[in-house]
Amino acid sequence: MTFKDRWQRNKARKAARKHRKIDSSEPMCFGFGWYSEEEWTKLIEVVSDRSELDDTYQDWEKNATNALQMLRNQGIEATKVMVKVADLQQWCQKQGRPIDGETRAEYVSHLLSSQDETT
């Protein structure tokens, strides 16, 4: 197979992935990081993006509950994933990453997939 053939095949694969539709017969599962008030207090002390978070736990809980309900109303299986900040810190340290929104989301995904593997 020539370079040109491989290039065209890869281009076709990328295009197919880009336009792949989600199978609506299976519910989409979404992990939503959830914090107790105690863990929230710990979280705001260690994050690198504090200005991106709600001012109070009560504001966060209200907004998170609304977001969770909105996802569920759209047919997305949204699951609360309890986060312990000490474990999050340890995971981020192993990854060499800051504790920000992106890594918190990745950590929740990691926890959710770990739960799936044990069931």
73's tokens? 């109303």
DSSP-based helix, strand, coil % in the chain, nearest 5: 65, 10, 25
Q: Domain segments of the chain: what residues? A: 28-118
pLDDT in the model for residue 20: 46
pLDDT in the model for residue 114: 80
pLDDT in the model for residue 30: 83
Instruction: Answer whether 33's CB lies under 8 Å from 87's CB.
Output: no
pLDDT in the model for residue 55: 92
pLDDT in the model for residue 22: 47
- Averaged pLDDT in 10-residue chunks for the chain of 119 residues: 52 53 58 95 95 93 93 88 97 95 93 70
